[in-house]
Chains A and B, each alone.
Chain A
Amino acid sequence: MMRGVAHLCAIPAALGILLTVPAHAEEKFDPFSVDEARVRRDVHTIALAPLTVPVATADVPSVRAHFDSIVTSQLEAGGFAVVPSTQYERVWHMMSVRLGGVYDTLTGVPDSEKLGACREHTVRELQREHGADAVLVTWIAYDTARPGVLPKEATIGSRSRPYVVFGEPLTWEGRPLEALLRNLPQRVVAAYYNAALYDASGEEMYSARSGVRWTRIYFGATYRDRREAPWFGAEAHNREAVQVALGPLTRRVPTDGERSKW
């Protein structure tokens, strides 16, 4: 009887809580920082800033050229004209030389005023020379990924960015990790592709990220780096990461299959 009373009290509360959870989980991912219609009206030509990659990355020019090629074709398919990142690099270099450098030579700390001036004049010059309306800044950085709901894969992405959640099988030297270790990894690190679009005044208009590939795993009380092909060498993964991150901007919405396939 008493137990029954407890249930009577608890069930409506629990029901209320449960009803709110799905609504939150289905919240639409919107990478636009300003009204999407205004972005489409105001932006026609996008200047690419050079891709920033983690410090230890080998052959940076090749990696940049590889990603630039993917990004350019996707933006062009989305109807945008593209100014290559070499132009941005050239103008940025000239502006920073004029300002006597924007970073402290001893500490490496940027002078915020000079940095702001360098950015502003670089964009204005790209606007003057090439008619650029916006700049696409991209970078690859490491962040944690979760061992997935399915125990054999890493879920790369986060709840706050549901659009980019997809999984990749966890393998070690070609073998499924679970079979190898007989337990689940405690932590996974993944490389993420980040993209942010700024208008000519430096205001963010769009920001998104997507998983490139898991790169590091924690087991046996230590971190172990992935020994397979380097993460930036897998063209299919790179292409998919760019497609996911820039999808809403270029109006290309990935299918369910694309989100889960690796």
Chain B
Amino acid sequence: MKLTQEQKLIRKLARELAEKSIFPLAGEIDQTDVFPDALHQELADAGLFGMTIPAAYGGSNAGVLACALAEEEIARGAGVAEIYVSSPNSLSGYPIVAAGTEEQKRRYLPGMVSGAYFIAFALTEPNAGSDPAALCTTAVKTEGGYLLNGRKCFITGSTFAKYAIVLAKTAPEMGLKGISAFVVDLDSPGVSRGKGERKMGLHGCGTGDLVFNNVFVPDTDLLGKPGGGYYLAMKTLDLGRIGVASQAVGIAQRAFEEAVSFAAERRQFGRPIASFQSIGFMLAEMKTKLEAARLLTYDAAASIDSGEQATCKAAMAKYYAAESAVEIVSKAVQIHGGYGYIGGYTVERLYRDVRVLPLYEGTSQIQQILIAKDIMKGAER
């Protein structure tokens, strides 16, 4: 894929930042579950939080492909660091850019881009993961606003976000067309935050419940039109999925590099294990899948940049990259032998980090549904 000079420079910037500032801290972030403020600010100062945000609100409008390139490099440093970059560029930024009023854009975007605060994206509920029609959170119209009630779970950044984009039913009888989106100030009366979940991996970004108990949300914080929330969320997820695909490519790339370097150094039976065909074949398969995942991801990103409807491409990229990343990391552990199972080895962390990729932002099975739907569009008689 041909990249512009700007895209190449953004990739270089992200790679250098990752190698200098994330590589040395990744193990500690994993162990302590704390993402250092200084690193968060460094990501913000590098302009990585505003790549899909217009310049008028502090961003650079560098585009989705540029963003994917940067996210891949950051994820190569640490999967969790990519979440901090991906969120403002997709899940939290896009709904405001796409549906927000001028006043909402000015109020929420600059602080998010500068790293002053994090905006969470709250769609998932205990009984509504893959099936948003089952949402139970309601927003009932009242004088000057809405009263929000319900519980969201597995919300990234729930423990520290200042705001959340919350999907709630404003007209439950209308199904998906009765879902609306709101920007909710998480310091409002009636909001409570659950304890951060103890996750298998991707430590360093508090993930948990947000509970809304008669939370008043003013009319001015309704995002887009009433009933437009589901469509907005689906468009948002197209971008989010490219983020996950990029994260998958970055994590898999790192695992691949670790495997190559281990295979070259580790000697058994008097020679480097890389010289055994069984290891060589594993590396060949890893590399091929990695490149295929990368190209699918870049293609989906470039399609969005050129204004195409890219739901299917984004789903294919996310599906393939996430599944391949799990395989690639697993093979990297295999190549490491017993060492791959020991804490402190990078591949051990990657193995835990990578497992969520086929789960979040739509499971692999949801991606398959989206792809299948697209294939059959207009083909059924």
**Are A and B bound to each other?**
no
